[in-house]
Copies of this chain bind each other. A is one copy, B any other.
Amino acid sequence: MAIECSCDECELKELFFQNISASEMESLCQSRVEQNYDKGDYIIEQGKPVEEFIYLKRGLVKLFITNANDKEQILSFAKPFDFVSLLSILSKKHHSYSVMAIEDSTTCNISIRDVKRIIRENGKFAMSILEKMSMVSDNVIDESLAIRRRNLRGRVAYVLLHFYRDIYKTEAFELPVSRKEIAEYIGMTTENVIRALTEFRKDGIIKIFGKVIEIIDEHKLQQISEHG
């Protein structure tokens, strides 16, 4: 008797659910829930109990923490196939970070208990999760160091290149974030992010149409990203 499970066709199966048996897959498939979010919706709220293992199928999200003065610090932007809830869910009872959709998004949610059970029962699956997790954490840390060693212009250039190369891959794209959010990500003020963008525009490196940015001189932007 063949088992019907839409997960079989899911791209995430390749990436993530390797080394998993048909019956384990079926069990996950039964319990998983797909969830849609509009831009601006919270997917995870800081402080809430960790109940589900969540990953992103579609859209774009930001991970951030809200500090004592209600200011946000953005940790990273994640696109599909980045495992957004992977960072702390295995060691903490409550979420350390919030996750918000910055574009309309779809997640696939699995009970954290089920995932933990399969990890315990299936070492190969555990190994592949460990590898992925290791990669995600590394990326967040690398990004943070990359930002830290740059000055204002370098940081803004870095962010633009990130959206251009890693996410949209087209010279003209609509920024999914406000200038304020860029500032919260790179740890500078909104005004200075705007000033840097204006400078790039005046120098003919980019064009700006509101939220739409067009990369004119990628090479120059790369130089600024490296040397400020």
Residue numbers of A with Cβ under 8 A of B are 65, 67-68, 73, 75, 87-92, 96, 116, 119-124, 126-127, 129-135, 137-138, 140-142, 144-145, 148-149, 187, 226
Contact = CB atoms under 8 A, between A and B. Distances in A.
Given A123-B122, A126-B126, A90 B134 contact: yes
B119 A126 contact: yes
A223 to B, nearest CB: 13
Contacts of A116: 127
Nearest to A67: B149
- Interface residue SS majority, chain A: helix
B131 A120 contact: no
A148 B73 contact: yes
A192 to B, nearest CB: 16
Contacts of A87: 134, 137-138, 141
Contacts of A148: 73, 144, 148, 187
A217 to B, nearest CB: 22
A93 B145 CA distance: 20
A122 to B, nearest CB: 6
